[in-house]
Amino acid sequence: MKIALVLALVLVGVWLFRLNRRSERRGLDRQHTPPAEKPAAMALDMVRCRQCDVHLPQADAIAGKQGVYCSLEHRQRAES
């Protein structure tokens, strides 16, 4: 009879331990969810300088007759 009581207590202890571990994992999973990806609208269009082949955002590029450039100096060199 004592053995059955000890076995039952051990089983209840193991069950409570596993139940507690599962709830801890669920809490950690919620805390460490990866951030949502940035929307595609935030992506910048990249262009290549015709003089030095450096990639830069299209908003920062300087337009010339033969293409886009990263600086005024490169545009002047290419178009002179």
Domain count, the chain: 2
Structure tokens of 41?
A: 């609208």
Residues 58 and 73 in one domain: yes
Residues 28 and 47 in one domain: no
Residues 29 and 44 in one domain: no
Distant-in-sequence, close-in-space partners of 46: CB < 8 Å, separation ≥ 6 = 55, 56, 57, 58
C-alpha span between 16 and 26 (Å, rounded): 16
Q: Which domain holds residue 25?
A: 1-33
**With 80 as the cut, is the pLDDT of residue 72 above it?**
yes
pLDDT for residue 44: 84
Q: What is the pLDDT of residues 8-64, one digit of tens each?
A: 999 999 999 998 887 776 665 555 666 666 566 677 899 999 999 999 999 999 999
pLDDT for residue 1: 84
Residues 44 and 16 in one domain: no
Residues 54 and 75 in one domain: yes
Residues 71 and 52 in one domain: yes
Residues 45 and 73 in one domain: yes
pLDDT for residue 39: 62
Residues 44 and 19 in one domain: no
67 φ/ψ sector (left φ>0, alpha ψ -120 to 50, else beta): left
Number of Cβ within 10 Å of residue 80's Cβ equals 5
